[in-house]
Amino acid sequence: MMDTLQLGDIEIAVTRKDVKHVHLSVHPPEGRVTLVAPAQSRMDVLRAYAITRLSWIRKQQATLRTQARETPRRHVTRESHHLWGRRYLLDVQYVDAKPGVRLDHKRITLLVRPGSDEEKRADVIHEWHKALLHAALPEMIRIWEPRLNVQVRTYYLQRMKTRWGSCNYARGHIRLNTELVKKPKHLLEYVLVHEMAHLIAPTHDGKFVELLDEHFPLWREARSELNTLPLPAI
């Protein structure tokens, strides 16, 4: 059962289900707030509880708001780009051939046709990013499905400005932010496992925390590391 609490400018998504305790969470990267509570909890009681936690909620959201964001990229030569946590310089070459990307130990070379504008250059890089993620994810999913005893029916990749990932519990689908290709690969694994765990526990309740504690014991450190790295540009 889903409800919403509005406390001034703070909106809290409330889910009541078969749990023993109340779980209040502020989620990166945008600071959305969720509250999971026992099924019979009254909204006035939950409101009173949330009010006692307002200062904590605001502190968590303020921390997220001050997190650095990437400078928007124009995809021009000598611009700095990141891949799997490493910094590379971009070299743009205009050639009368099929667009593509090459990578060496210190440089990303972007090949585009003469006259390609900023949007086209960005599209070529984005398709390359998706290809890299598609190369990495199937093996990760293959490893983690038996560990968690779940099946990912389909995964999707897309640009997302407010989430690193999401999960459609009913359909067995997960969605991941293509910006994760810029972060260290173990953080991609953390987000993947996080979303796969939601196939068992749809909310951030005690069962969800227990799953991560058991199967990915360093998840808090991974979450903290991800939250210190620059967010996608707005």
Q: What is the pLDDT of residues 106-115, one digit of tens each?
A: 899 999 999 9
Strand, helix or coil for residue 218: coil
Report the DSSP pairing between strands 80-83 and 23-27: unpaired
Q: What is the pLDDT of residues 75-107, one digit of tens each?
A: 999 999 999 999 999 999 999 999 999 999 889
At the topology level of CATH, where does 118-228 sit?
Zincin-like (3.30.2010)
* 1 confidence band (pLDDT: 50, 70, 90): low
Residue 174 predicted with pLDDT over 90 = yes
The tokens describing 110, both together, are: 């972007």
Is the model's pTM score more than 0.85? no
Strand, helix or coil for residue 206: helix
Q: What is the pLDDT of residues 112-149, one digit of tens each?
A: 999 999 999 999 999 999 999 999 999 999 999 999 99
- Is the Cα torsion angle 101, 102, 108, 114 positive or negative in sign? negative
- Residue 234's pLDDT is what? 52
* 67 confidence band (pLDDT: 50, 70, 90): low
The residue extents of the domains of the chain are 2-65, 118-228
Number of H helices, E strands in the chain: 6, 11
pLDDT mean across residues, the chain? 91
Q: Sort 33 into a burial class: Cβ within 10 Å, 0-12 / 13-18 / 19+.
A: buried
Task: Please check whether residue 192 is in contact with residue 165, taking contact to mean a CB–CB distance below 8 angstroms.
Answer: yes
Residue 167: phi, psi to the nearest 5?
A: -140, 130
List the alpha helices (DSSP H) in 11-117.
43-52, 54-65
Helix, strand, coil share (%) of the chain residues, nearest 5:
40, 30, 35
DSSP 179: G
